[in-house]
Amino acid sequence: MMNDNFEQLPYYDVLLRKVFAYYDTIWMDRRIEGIHESWIENFTHADKEEQAKERLNAIYLLTKFMYFGNIELRELLKCLYRDLFKYEIVKKIRQSNQNTHDSDLLENSFFEQLEQTRFLGVGNPSESGVHLLYYFRQENGLAKKYFINTHEIFKQVEEQQLVNDSIETFLKTKLSNPKIKRYIFIDDLCVSGSQAKEYSKDIVTIIKKLDPTVEVAYLMLIGTEEGIREVKKYTKFDAVKAVFTIDQSFKCFSEYSRFYNHKGPVEIDKDFFNITCEKYGRNLFTSHPLGYNNGQLLLGLFHNTPDNTLPIFWADNNWSPIFKRYPKN
């Protein structure tokens, strides 16, 4: 039970206790001794009273930070396979068999569909989408044969054609394995949808042109409503789904912010800290002081922190980060 005097503590100390509790539990794999102290010392307003208010608001937002550790991400990968992939296929099998409950039929039919499926990561081999496939395969007990790299989708074959009374040889792009009827692209996070749109242009469009019957899906662990909407609107993916969807309420300083919809101490001031984050953010991430594309997220993953998150949490240029980001150089 919580100490009887807990409610009598200054609000800053109450928040700090929450931070310590998070480091002992859900933030355990990011715990570095004294890191919150180094981070809070970044806020160095010349006026001591304003500095205290900045630090109180900073520690308040830290208690609202959503961190997905190794354990949580593995659970999300299970959900992605089960809810967004397997259950959807089983549902279609049932519907095409008079809503049967025959478990043997369902299992055998699903296995046939799985044999015609390949899973891929989004991005090059050094990026997070591809990195997660290792855990995805482990957690869902899948064989290695169901995973391929993007270059394995296509092959170049020589074909000959009569041109002006002479035979000319040219290369033609084809699908490497015509038996594959489903490609599933897996990503950890979709915020703006820009990377998925690039993939659609460079890869998915070609697949659909070569064989329009092939299903191509983009499944992500976490996606914003805006990003999902963009991908659906501007790509050739047949399905675009997320395990966990982020709406406008997750945007820290938005009108609908879930982080300020409470009656707390007057010192917890959304407008004040919005200005504060912009002030520091202009030095940390000049063109995007509140996160890439004005993301305003309070979000971190065990393998990285997205640049859509407020830079005060992850930037490291003359700043001590608490959830450091490793950028794509």
pLDDT tens-digit series, residues 85-94: 999 999 999 9
The mean predicted confidence, pLDDT, of the chain is 91
Distance CA 55, CA 33 (A): 19
3-state DSSP assignment of residue 188: strand
pTM equals 0.89
Asked if 133 and 147 count as a contact pair (C-beta separation under 8 A), the reply is: yes
pLDDT tens-digit series, residues 129-165: 678 999 999 999 999 999 999 999 999 988 777 777 7
E strand map for the chain: 66-68, 117-121, 154-163, 166-175, 182-190, 215-224, 239-246, 299-301
3-state DSSP assignment of residue 102: coil
pLDDT tens-digit series, residues 198-238: 888 889 999 999 999 999 999 999 999 999 999 999 999 99
Of 88, 157, 121, 61, the C-alpha closest to 303 is 121
Q: Which residue has the tokens 């496939």?
A: 133
3-state DSSP assignment of residue 313: helix
β pairing state of 154-163 and 166-175: antiparallel
Quote the tokens at residue 223: 């996606």
Which domains does the chain possess? Answer: 9-64+283-301+317-329 (no CATH), 70-246 (3.40.50)
